[in-house]
Structure 1
Amino acid sequence: MGATDWFTRARLAEFARYCAVGLGVFGLDTGTLILLHSRAGMPLALATALAFALASLINFALSRQWVFAQAANGATPRAALVRYTVVIVIGLLATAAIVPALAGAGLDYRIAKTLASGLVGLGNYLAFPKWVFRRPA
């Protein structure tokens, strides 16, 4: 087994963990959004932002400790949290803009949320190991 085989297997395992965490926090995010908007009557943009923020906190802990643990090994938690916050704020702003815009165009807000989350998730997968959870130089 060569170095390329290990890298490929390691990346596939990492991606599987990322997807598992992503699905879990997506469920938490979407469930919270539905609860806050449909049940509690909170405005859609605010409910979207709060649900996203809660899911993001859980995502940070799981991503740092389980998904990207090798990349995070040696990185300070404070630095990772600051970089994570930058990435998440960008995702939050994108999500808070995309969901109401698509809902305003006639798409069910739950479908709009799914689409926005998929786009943000892809961006996060690229940013997390390369920038957020990287070891110091």
Structure 2
Amino acid sequence: MSGTGWSQWLTKARLLEIARYSAVGFGTFLLDTASLIALHGGAHLQLALATALAFALASLVNFVLSRQWVFEQASAGATPRAALIRYTVVVLLGLGVTAALVPVLSGTGLDYRIAKILVSAVVGVGNYFAFPRWVFRAAARPGALA
């Protein structure tokens, strides 16, 4: 983007949205990571399963906070059902990436907690762009999900 493009995109409202997204993301990341450590390190569940369960729990909390607080403007016209269905699609994609890559990176000798941080960062950036543009926007026509 040109300097003008950035200044038009990076408004005070966008900065507030980014701050809120970051706060929700960081909070749910901590919940996700703590759950992963408890499930894998404490309860000794298999790493991929523990990763998936922790991610799912954090995702539910993230949906509610994102819809009600972070992207409230974008979600104003979206029905909760449609937003939840689209959110589930994005979460399942993130879950697949997370459940696949954390064990792969861990298998290379990288500590699973560091692998989790790296994968979460990639998923988080993708979600930031998907949420307001697709997940929380109003459907194109009644009953449409696209």
Please tell me the TM-score bracket, short chain as reference: over 0.9
Q: Distance in 2 between matches of 1:135 and 1:91?
A: 22
Deviations 1:109-131 (A, max 9, x none): 00000000000000000100000
How far does residue 135 in structure 1 lie from its aligned partner after superposition?
A: 1.8
CA contact (8 A) 2:82 2:139 kept: no
The letter of the residue matching 1:86 is V
- Aligned partner of residue 18 in structure 2, secondary structure: helix
TM-score between both structures, scaled by the size of structure 1: 0.95
Q: Distance in 1 between matches of 2:47 and 2:9?
A: 45
Query: Residue 90 of structure 2 aligns with which residue?
Result: 87
TM-score between both structures, scaled by the size of structure 2: 0.89
Q: Distance in 1 between matches of 2:92 and 2:8?
A: 36
1:118 aligns with 2:101: no
Which runs of 5 or more structure 2 residues have no equivalent in the other structure?
1-6, 141-146
- Aligned partner of residue 134 in structure 1, secondary structure: coil
Q: Distance in 2 between matches of 1:107 and 1:131?
A: 34
Query: Residue 64 of structure 2 aligns with which residue?
Result: 61
Provide the identity percentage: 69
Say which of 85, 102, 106 aligns to 1:103: 106
Query: Residue 77 of structure 2 aligns with which residue?
Result: 74
Q: Distance in 2 between matches of 1:7 and 1:104?
A: 39
How many residue pairs end up in the alignment? 134
Query: Residue 18 of structure 1 aligns with which residue?
Result: 21
Which runs of 5 or more structure 1 residues have no equivalent in the other structure?
none
Query: Residue 9 of structure 1 aligns with which residue?
Result: 12
The letter of the residue matching 1:41 is H
Query: Residue 45 of structure 2 aligns with which residue?
Result: 42
How far does residue 14 in structure 1 lie from its aligned partner after superposition?
A: 0.3
Misfit runs of 4+, over 6 Å: 4-7
Structural RMSD (CA)? 1.3
Higher-helix-fraction structure: 1
